[in-house]
Structure 1
């Protein structure tokens, strides 16, 4: 049919209903549960902060497994390519805003990270018709460092542990800015290549 892309019937297409996308869905559902537990009581009760940490950690772990499963078992879908980074951004964004609202993280750090995350998401959506901008190694490292820093800040820590969490968050901020610049440069190069 004219105007239609040629689709090879011998190449199987991944179903949207697969375990990788289910894990992404679980992560999306865990975001409001995490926020709720983070704010129970005055937001600083040891039991509920520890519970919020466990929920956050489970959500972060599902992020690792959904991508690995999708790539290893041919379950990569357009839905997954789009929903996975959105789920990540919602989880990280909710944690950052929550910690800032509770006075445990300076607002400027939350703003810097969220501006970068929203900017990269908009950039990815803008070039979606030409293909997906894959996560770089730096972007994956940034996500890991952010998750570790946020996880430590969620826990009711003090002393050296809190200082360690603060240092890791500073590293996360630097990686956030550098990888954001890298994404913009990659998108510009990619658009010049297509022109």
Structure 2
């Protein structure tokens, strides 16, 4: 399996790029979120890749981050979602926006993506809820992060009966260095004002 490519970016033809790795040119399909962040042609690039073999083709998909690739892999596990659809979803929404849509169970965010209808959006929300839910949408900077008790605070609020939307909004407002007990206290104050 090809897990990562580092080489010179030779061509950019959305959604496909050509990367020269020691004299071998790899055609790689990338989501638009990755495409817009690529360097100029002639410069070095590193892509996290997913190699897919079908009866009629061998395809290589590339991503700017490992998290984007992991999300692509989760999308492929959803019934009825193929590589092209998964690439389209990641082109239409960032990983964070997708995680938030799943957490908040908002199919309207997904139906804006070409090729994703209401039934497909609802299937995505159902099958990815526990895989790309609130953990993925917790803030990583400027708020209580998972390593600093963000998950524990969020879980406590959910256990107290707040819905995910309210709890997530309250946790996002917390400082990064706050303890779990102080985070819960401050989040409850925020929620009582709402």
TM-score by length of 1: 0.29
Q: Which has the higher strand share?
A: 2
TM-score by length of 2: 0.29
Q: Which has the higher contact order (CA 8 A, sep 6+)?
A: 1
